[in-house]
Structure 1
Amino acid sequence: MKEFVKHKKKLYIIIPFIVFIIVGAMGINNIFSRKKLKPKAVNGIVDLSEWDLMKDGIIELDGTWEFYWNRLLTPENFKNENNLIKTGVIEFPGTWNGLNVNDHVLTSDGHGTYRLLIKKEEKNDILSLYIPIINCSHKLWVNNNLMSTVGVVGKNKDEIEIQRKENIVNFKDDSENIEIILQISNYDSAFKGGPNGSIILGNYKQIQSYVYKNNAVVWFVFGSLFIMAFYHFGLYLLRRKDKSPLYFGILCLCAALREILYSEVVFYELFPNIDWILKGKGQCLVTELSFLMFLMFIDSIYKEYRKTKIYNAIKYFMIILIIFYLLVPIKILGNTQNIFIFVAMVICFYTFYSVLKAFIHKKEGATIVIIGMSLLFITVTNDFLYNNHIIYTGYYASLGLVSFIFAQSFMLSRKFSKAFNTVEALSEKLISLDKLKDEFLANTTHELRTPLNGIVGISESLLDDSSNLNQHQINNISLIVSSGRRLSKLINDILDFSKLKNKDITLNKKSVDINQIVNVVLEVSNNLIENKKIELISTISEEIPYVFVDENRFEQILYNLIGNAIKNTYEGKIIVSACCNNNMVEISVSDTGIGIPEEKFGQIFKAFEQLEVTGNNKGIGLGLSITKRFIELHGGEIKVKSQLNKGSKFTFTLPVSKEKNAIQILPQNNGALNKINTVINNKHMNSSESKNSNDGEFKILVVDDDLINRQVIINNFSSSKYSIISASDGEEALKKLSKHKDIDLIVLDVMMPKMSGYEVCREIRKKYSLIELPVVLLTASEKTEVIEVGFKVGANDYLFKPVDKAELTARVNTLLELKKSVEQAVTSELCFLQAQIKPHFLFNALNTIMSFCRTNPERARELLLDLSNYLRKSFDFNNKEKFVSLENEMSFVKSYLAIEKARFSKRLNIIYDIEPNLNCLMPPLILQPLVENAVRHGIASKRQGGMVKISAKGQNEFVLIKVEDDGIGIDKERLNSILNKTIEGSVGMKNIIKRLDIIYGYGIDIQTEQDKGTTISLKIPLRKEKFND
């Protein structure tokens, strides 16, 4: 309440002060512009004998004129005035609506004649009359001369022709008195009958000056408002969240159009042939729309003081009223003006209430709005009083409107200016805080690094001498070391971020083979393609020179560009190419994706900027920005070419290395370098020769193209239980693997020339399973995608460079022991399987052979050989072969089936469909148990017997082997038990499924149908010829 009283006092000071200033200015203008009162017409006569047009100026012929209702009189009729019956006198300008004639109240429809006699003393050469709009047609005579005709006057609606415009007539002043006779017809107007404005008398120059002055004011107001409208439209486009500039812009535009529409001279000069009905509706529309926009503007800037129900009621009623005015005939508009005036008054009171509350609560700009509204209210009131001849100041409403508009514009501009200053101050503060944050991060991480290294070092030393520690303590100290290393990595990441931001990052440049990096990045990036039909291609020549870059940053550049291409390409190719241009290598990544608009080329390299071409908004828009900064740090540049829906091409440059490879950029002392290389090569040869030694329990193949890195890894396996073989590239590794069948594990570098580690690993997995030959990959990248691709191509484990000796030996030993344990378990089960020969099978086989001894001794001899072969393979407990050829396994199967065929005779039909020259190795005792199962459970149970078919055919990189029978089939419950490995009494089937699953990662496929038979399928990888080199 105290706050309200305080601001109420301010209003009592501000508003009277404004009124005093404006009214005082108008009064002064009135005093200095006129020296005497203007004469007025009385009973149809105006005396201008004391009015000098040259000195005193123009004169409005206002007052009471003679009036003749329902009569269209001409000068001829007034020659004999005794025959005329005057209706009376009427106020001019004014309307005849409501005039009582013969006890009849007049409406707007009708016709009549006005007459005025002007008395004067002096004569002038030429005088002029300014005739305003008169509803809705008229004729005017001056001293018996017809001077003005607008439209066609008539006595009814059918006779008249409506026309609305202002007019200026000139006549010669050659008599002491001037008679003016005016006929008016109004039958189809939406407005009241009679003249709307004053008829003005003056000399020609005065009338022209009056018209030009009015027109100049109209154009000035229109131009000012029009400019302000588009100024505020511009403000709205800059910040669309704030609707107030939009509403105010529309308000200014409506006010500007209203000035033109209500100025008859200006309007009809612009649009001489326009229908007056359209003009009238336009006047109503812009006026009502102005009030609606004013309401919405005030509400938008002071929304918190809104009375929602009142606001919505007024707004929607105004919208309905506007639509109503557009649809109804124009005659009805004049009869509903009072409704609009009432709503306009409600809007004024409501908006003033909102502004007043805003002022009381010290809302920004409220004082300026109150001043503007006060100016407009005072000037409109002045025009009303002046128009009714109560005061003699002049028309000021237009200037009041302009003042109000400028006041609101000043308020909005001040609001935007203040917002800009606030943003500028906040930006400076943010920059300062950001700098402070970077300094804090850098200083803190530096301070944390020393004590953290101490913590990790002391913890590791405790673990090295852990004889006095129990297991719980060892676990806790190990956790401290692990957490410390993670924190150390986090500190390094923070430092790198800070350095990159401050252009203080360190690049570990060396000679890098582009092909190596590109092949690995493409291999990893294949993982990002998902279900898209995209082909990743490298067309880089082997002859392309090395580049002198930081290997990790170069990888990051390629990952960002190729990842960006994959994200924006749904089908097609992504091609990486390179060419040498002077001392720079140009590397290009092109795609067939959605493309980039040319106007967005500069935007894509800005931080946190993303294009919304596809609505694909993954990420935060840093990738290309970081890529550009890394390229520039290497002394290169990046550019883009793109066409929408055709694709993009990013091209960047990197400096050519002056050396061929990383070894050549070691210290430039050639003697020292040769000595180092000699020592390393000798060690390498010694290590390679160790392949001939059988002293080691495990044989390991180390593959790395870097001689020093390779030797470091070899040195890590200094224990006598390892025999080491080394290779310098992928092709050499595959050759040595083919030559040395007893290799237990491979340590393989990812980045290598010709064949990447991924390609080598993929080739190895075509012959060896994960358990049979473990592979440990080495890489300098810690990206999740790189690790994921490694596991997909068949790696067992990953190690990051530089390799820690303890970690390397620990991981390798784990894999070797796991391999050893699995092999022992499989061998044990295989031995157990071999022991599962049923006694009744031997009994049946011997009985069959004995029967043939009497009837067919030769056949008995063949069966004894088959039984001997069968038993030899079954009881070969010392067989250490992990795999046997398909031919060997089929020999075992044929021996078994030959015995069963002799036993079942015609009840057993055997079909072999084996593709010749299948180079396939498989685990032993896989096929025979499956065939035996088909004979015993499928055929033997049928009285009429059946057929067993064994087929083997090449299928891509596999051999597809099928064992089919047309026996009784397998019921669903038993089939589920077999597949779920829960079947009891079927050691052979469980063993087969388990061994296949361990070796290949998959088991067998069983298709069966009751009383129709069973088909068991399995896939065995084909051997590649390159392993046989």
Structure 2
Amino acid sequence: MHRNEKAAWFARVLLISLIGLIGFLLVPLSGKIGGDERSNPWIVQKGGLDLATWNPERDPVIPLDGEWEFYWNQLLTPDDFRQGLNMPHTGSVSYISVPSPWNGKLLDGIKLPAYGAATYRMVLTGLPPAEELALKKTNIRFASEIYVNGRRLLTDGQTSGSPAGYRAGNSPQLGIFSAAQGRIEIIVHVANYDYVNSGITDSLRFGLADRLIADRQLALSKDFVVLSILGTLTLIYVICFAAASAYHIRDNSLVLLAMICLLFGLYHGLMGERALFPLLEGMFSFEVLYKMKDFISVSACLSLALFFHHLHRSKLSLRITQVVSIALVGFMVVIPMLSIHAYTPIQVYVIVLYQIVQFWHFLVAAQLFVRGERGARLKLLMLCVAVLMINLYSLDTIFFALGIHKSAWLAQFCIVIFNVVMLPVVVLRFFEAYQTVNTMKDQLLRLDKIKDEFLSTTSHELRTPLNAIVNISESLLKGVEGSLSDTQTRNLSIVVDSGRRLMVLVNELLDYSRLKHGDLALQRSAVDVKAYVESVIQIHGFLLEGSSTKLMNGVSDHLPPAYADGNRLIQILHNLISNAIKFSERGVVEVTAVTIGEWMEVRVSDTGIGIAAEMRERIFLEFDQGEAAQYGGAGLGLSITKRLVELHGGRIEVDSELGKGATFRFTLPLAGNEVETLADGRSAASVRSVSSPLGVRPPEYPLYVAGKEQEPILLVDDDFANLQSMINMFKLEGRTFIVVDRGQLALETVFSRSDISLVVLDLIMADMSGYEVLGRIRERFSPFELPVLVLTARNSSEDIRIALENGANDVVAKPFESEELMARVRNLTELKSSVKLARNAEIAFLRSQIKPHFLYNALTAIAELCVIDAGQAEQLTLRLSSYLRSSFDFKHLEAMTTLENELELVKSYVAIEQARFGARLQVEYELEANLGVMIPPLVIQPIVENAIRHGVMSRSKGGTVKLLVIEREPGKVLIRIDDNGCGMSGGQLDSIMKPDTAAGGIGLWNISQRLRLLYGTTLRIDSREGTGTRVEMELPTSHILERGETTAYAAIDDRRR
């Protein structure tokens, strides 16, 4: 910083510090400046004041300040004082200073509370003869009655010794009376059960009636002047906002300023002399009006906080502004709901918070002024002064509310100065905006010229390579290098279609440039509109492949020809039909035409999403897509269409309702009576063949492509080009995959197959959201059981977070590189394989855990039978061998076995156990299903083993196990295992269905999980203590082993034999 700059910086710091210091010193000095603390020779002492020397002409008004008699918690009438010879019998006399609140005062060593009732009394003596006298009260909180010489002179609210009979009231009042005897007794009843301070907080003024009336009128006039100034400023700001809005400029600071002026005007009309009370007292009670005053005050504070933040968002913390706004809004909600007594204590904290924030605003404004640039310092200085005025206004209002100041003249002055200062700030902002607009206009004109030149040059440069791409691709499609496979034909068709789309965009850019510079000339002739419509519909047929949207040509064969440029008519129809297709996922796009006088009106109607009323003009602006940007495009098509229609001398309009589609109507002049040749010299038939699609239709979905792997990957996307590109990538990798183009079809595929290894899912699809598909998948499969790789066009951190939170394993942003996509696919498929291997290893380990005591018991039984029955011992040995062979087979963990093989395993196990337990164990079989049904291995034997070991054998007398296998309905087999053993409690049942309760064998949880993954079903278990247990499962009979087929398990058994 140079020496001169440093000196200037110190000068600005000194200036703003001086302004702030003077401003804040005004608050404590305002009482003296306003006359609140001026010398008063007439002081009430010990409840009396001698006015023998009073000169009404010199001092027409006297404030009755000083020591008044004070009777706490008593409402004494004039009769009470007369009967007690000026001393009431109810208690001794105390004295209190007036004006001041009684709360906090010590009376007989006790600090008085804010809530209660009291009587004030004083006597004026030695009054000289005078005309009519008057007494004016300004602020007695919070209900009062004033008696003069035994007569009730003024009443405000209703005083009472308890809250039950109390009614608030506190408005400035003036009462007129006369004093013929030269003595005046003034008794004031005061009650308060609402406000935080109580008593006579402002001077009672006594004097000549005409002078007091004049003073009140002067005070009201000042209030109305302030109201007029603030009302005028409100109107000015509203007019400025309306004028800015007419030019599409929304300056919310003007609205906030208008609200500030209006609210502060209303607030000042409801405080002080309460100038607006006479207009409202007939409609509302005092309590409602007082709440209205507080509500308006808080609303004004909220508007100020928002206004200052709006002016300097970069400097003022949004979070602090939000906290203050929430506090103010919360208090605004509380005010109408609670009584004055209930919300007043909260008001203190709200005011303190608001005042701290206002002081912070002043410091920020001062900092901006000190560090501001030279050209902006005047505006920043005025802003700093405005913020200072608001601070002074708030402080003076607080002091007035607390009774420290007896008038709010400084607050009125500051709020007027604030708005007067803000007015030139607003004018300066408009002036700066005008200068900015002029500067930007010149820049935009230069940039627009550069843009036009760039578009024209770039478009010409793009046409040659695009033409080459399209022509070479078309020649390959036509067989220049030999015949092509269906896949090659499909891929080249996509290349041709994409190239044509780019050509359309390039041509639009060229047309836009030519139209703008007036270089486009029409070659008009008589054209058959129906033929041209048919041609464009055929061109767009390829775009609708796989879509339920239909194109219809409803133009009559009997319409007369139109007088138009054929090529430009094709362009108009192409743009309108493309637009209709883009916004119509399903339904009908229809083209019709009618003649109206010497014009033909062509209508392109769709049943799409429709267009909002405010968007109907914007859609024809250059590069303005409105709310349709998500559908792609450059925003030029409809603009060029409008210009082309106007070049023909016609007009274009749109009729639409949201959700009900749109109808574009454009007019063309009719030709003469004869139908002339087409503008380009060709027949209508030749026109219909222009740019017709050359590709073949995409295949029916789902499409299965076999590769090197057994488990397929599911590809889900509704964009044909994206799907085809992924198909090519996965083919190069030798992957096995299934392709679907709809979310519902993806769910059907996932739920109908148990071998899907990965789902590659696009989030944006026509029939249902990718998030919905993802959620449905996650309802059945965890991220480890079936990984999902999400494709999204948006790659912000927020979108990625949401996708991952909804169950995606990984996210790839479109457009993607093939290497990145395939690397992520490999990672996720390897993850699935690792999880699968880990699960199989766990199952193998559990299957191998044959209990030693089981083998010991089985061998002991065989040894005993060798002595008694050698034949039975041999059979039991074979059963044990078969059982062990099945238990130790780990090579085909995922293979299926037949129901017959599984039942053989069950019978082997049962025979061994029956040899041990004899008649205590009974097993009954009811088999009425096809034994060739394929089922997962080891889903019945572990349940039977559990029923024997933990069910019937837990009872001393044993029991019976029943195994039922029956085909209940076509396509499903029911397997049920019943036992009459000891049964289980609810807690035991919950425990055995946890993953850590296999206890060295294949637990029920393991079986249930395998069934869920394979079939989407689980075990059904019903058990009661002392009664027994039933376990059921339903399995599909989708594959039944025919004669001659061999399962993996059967083949292994054969080799071992």
TM range (shorter): 0.5 to 0.7
User: Could you give the per-residue CA deviations for residues 912-937 of structure 1, whole angstroms, max 9, x where no partner exists?
Assistant: xxxxxxxxxxxxxxxxxxxxxxxxxx
- Give me the TM-score of the superposition, normalised by structure 2: 0.52
Residue 508 (structure 1) shift: 2.9
1:240 Cα deviation after fit: 10
Match of 2:70 among 67, 71, 74: 67
Deviation, 1:540, is 3.5
Counterpart for residue 301 of structure 1: 311
Using the alignment, how far apart are the partners of 1:560 and 1:291 within structure 2? 54
Residue 395 of structure 1 is matched in structure 2 by 409
Structure 1 residue 233 displacement after superposition: 8.2
Identify the match of residue 214 of structure 2 among 206, 221, 233. 206
Question: 1:623: Cα distance to partner?
Answer: 1.9
Amino acid at match of 1:506: A
- 1:303 Cα deviation (Å)? 4.3
Once the two structures are TM-superposed, the CA of residue 90 in structure 1 deviates from its matched residue by: 2.4
Does the C-alpha gap of structure 1 residues 15 and 114 become closer, same or farther in structure 2, counting only changes over 3 Å? same
Aligned length: 652
| Structure 1 unaligned regions, length at least 5 | 457-486, 666-705, 710-750, 759-776, 780-785, 794-1008, 1013-1029
Partner of 1:955 in structure 2? none
Alpha-carbon separation, structure 1, partners of 2:324 and 2:26: 36
Tell me the CA shift for residue 568 of structure 1: 3.6
For residue 113 of structure 1, give the secondary structure of its aligned residue in structure 2.
strand
Deviation of the 1:348 alpha carbon: 3.6
Query: 1:97, CA displacement in angstroms?
Result: 1.9
Matched, 1:506 2:515: no
Q: 1:194 to 1:71 in 2, by over 3 A?
A: same
Q: What pairs with 1:142-541 in structure 2 (closer than 5 Å)?
A: 142-158=148-164, 160-186=166-192, 188-201=193-206, 202-204=208-210, 205-206=213-214, 209-210=217-218, 212-213=220-221, 215-217=223-225, 219-220=227-228, 223=231, 227=235, 255-262=264-271, 264=274, 266-267=276-277, 269-272=279-282, 274=284, 283-288=293-298, 290-291=300-301, 294-306=304-316, 330-331=340-341, 339-340=349-350, 342-362=352-372, 364=376, 365-377=379-391, 395-408=409-422, 410-412=424-426, 414-435=428-449, 437-438=451-452, 496-541=511-556
The 1:182/1:46 distance shift into structure 2, 3 A limit, reads same
Contact kept in structure 1, 2:42 and 2:62, CA below 8 Å: no
Match for residue 135 of structure 2? 129
Q: Offset of 1:569 from its aligned partner?
A: 3.8
Question: Distance between the aligned counterparts of 1:368 and 1:250, measured in 2?
Answer: 20
What CA deviation, in whole Å up to 9, does each residue of 1:339-382 have, x standing for no partner?
Answer: 45543443243222222222222175431222123334556677
In the alignment, the residues of structure 1 paired with residue 634 and residue 392 of structure 2 have an alpha-carbon distance, to the nearest angstrom, of 57
* Distance of 1:315 and 1:27 partners within structure 2: 32
Q: 1:357 to 1:599 in 2, by over 3 A?
A: closer
Cα displacement string for residues 870-910 of structure 1 (whole angstroms, at most 9, x for unaligned residues)? xxxxxxxxxxxxxxxxxxxxxxxxxxxxxxxxxxxxxxxxx
Amino acid at match of 2:217: S
In structure 1, how many angstroms separate the alpha carbons of the residues matched to 2:176 and 2:629?
Answer: 71
Alignment partner of 1:605 is 2:623: no
CA distance in 2, matches of 1:757, 1:443: 29
Give the C-alpha shift of residue 557 in structure 1: 0.7
Distance 1:517 1:132, change over 3 A: same
| 8 Å contact kept, 2:355–2:394 | no
Report the equivalent of 1:104.
110
Task: State the Cα distance separating 1:657 from its structure 2 match.
Answer: 4.0
Q: Distance between the aligned counterparts of 1:254 and 1:653, measured in 2?
A: 55
Which residue in 2 is equivalent to 1:550?
565
Q: Distance in 2 between matches of 1:645 and 1:292?
A: 40
Quick one: distance in 2 between partners of 1:599 and 1:305?
Answer: 35
Deviation digits for residues 528-551 of structure 1, max 9, x if unmatched? 334554443334344544444322
Please, which moves more after superposition, 75-84 or 555-564? 75-84
Q: Which of 573, 590, 593 matches 1:578?
A: 593
Residue 788 (str. 1) matches residue 693 (str. 2): yes
Assess, with a 3 A threshold, how the Cα gap between structure 1 residues 215 and 299 changes in structure 2: closer, same or farther: closer
Aligned CA distance change for structure 1 residues 52 and 13 (closer, same or farther; 3 Å)? farther
- Report the secondary structure of 1:396's partner residue: helix
Aligned residue number for residue 931 of structure 2: none
Return the offset for 1:292.
5.3
The CA deviation string for residues 243-287 of structure 1, in whole angstroms up to 9 with x for no partner, is 766766665565345334435462464154645555555555554
Cα distance in structure 2, aligned partners of 1:99 and 1:664: 105
CA contact (8 A) 2:197 2:402 kept: no
SS of equivalent to 1:262: coil
Q: Distance in 2 between matches of 1:572 and 1:396?
A: 71
Taking structure 1 as the reference length, the TM-score comes to 0.53
The match for 1:992 is none
Q: Which residue of 2 aligns with 1:821?
A: none
Give the distance between the partners of 1:305 and 1:585, measured in 2 at CA. 61
Q: Is the 8 A contact 1:235 1:245 kept in 2?
A: no
Q: Deviations over 1:676-721 (max 9, x none)?
A: xxxxxxxxxxxxxxxxxxxxxxxxxxxxxx9xx8xxxxxxxxxxxx
Contact 2:136–2:175 (8 Å) recurs in 1: yes
Residue 242 of structure 1 deviates from its aligned partner by: 8.0
Q: Secondary structure at the match of 2:635?
A: coil
State the distance in 2 between where 1:490 and 1:150 align. Answer: 80
Q: CA deviation at 1:147?
A: 1.2
For residues 415 and 426 of structure 1, the distance between their equivalents in structure 2, rounded to whole angstroms, comes to 16
Q: Quick one: structure 1 residues 351 and 231, their matched pair in 2 at CA, closer, same or farther if it must change by over 3 Å?
A: farther
State the identity %: 27
Determine whether 1:567 maps to 2:582: yes
Deviation per CA, 1:390-425: give whole Å up to 9, x if none: 999972312312322443454355335423431332
Give distance in 2, aligned partners of 1:82 and 1:591.
97
Distance 1:376 1:412 in 2: 17
User: After superposition, what is the alpha-carbon deviation per residue over 1:537-586, rounded to whole angstroms, capped at 9, x for unaligned?
Assistant: 33434454444432221110111122223334455544333345555443
Match of 2:494 in 1: none
Q: Whose Rg is larger?
A: 1
Which residue of structure 2 lines up, in the alignment, with residue 115 of structure 1? 121
Instruction: Provide the secondary structure at the position in 2 that maps to 1:504.
Output: coil
DSSP-derived class of the 1:206 partner = helix
Match of 2:11 in 1: 9
Residues 504 and 381 of structure 1: CA distance in aligned 2, closer, same or farther (over 3 Å): same
Q: Helix, strand or coil for the counterpart of 2:76?
A: coil
SS of the counterpart of 1:108?
coil
Does the aligned pair in 1 maintain the 2:31–2:37 contact within 8 Å?
no
Sort the Cα spacing of 1:520 and 1:339 in 2 relative to 1 into closer, same or farther, 3 A: closer
Q: Please say if residues 359 and 391 of structure 2, whose CA atoms lie closer than 8 Å, have aligned partners that are also in contact.
A: no
Q: In structure 2, what is the Cα distance between the partners aligned to 1:153 and 1:31?
A: 35
RMSD over equivalenced CA pairs, Å: 5.3
**CA contact 1:151–1:162 (8 Å) conserved in 2:** yes
Residue matched to 1:943: none
Aligned in 2, Cα 1:334/1:92: closer, same or farther, shift over 3 Å? farther
- How far apart, in 2, do the equivalents of 1:314 and 1:32 lie? 33
Return the alpha-carbon distance in structure 1 between the equivalents of residues 48 and 231 of structure 2: 42
**3-state SS, counterpart of residue 95 of structure 1:** coil
Q: Structure 1 residues 417 and 305, CA, compared in 2 at 3 Å: closer, same or farther?
A: same
The structure-2 alpha-carbon separation of the partners of 1:177 and 1:154, relative to structure 1 and needing over 3 Å to count, comes to: same
Larger mean Cα displacement after TM superposition, 399-408 or 651-660: 651-660
CA distance in 1, matches of 2:613, 2:330: 47
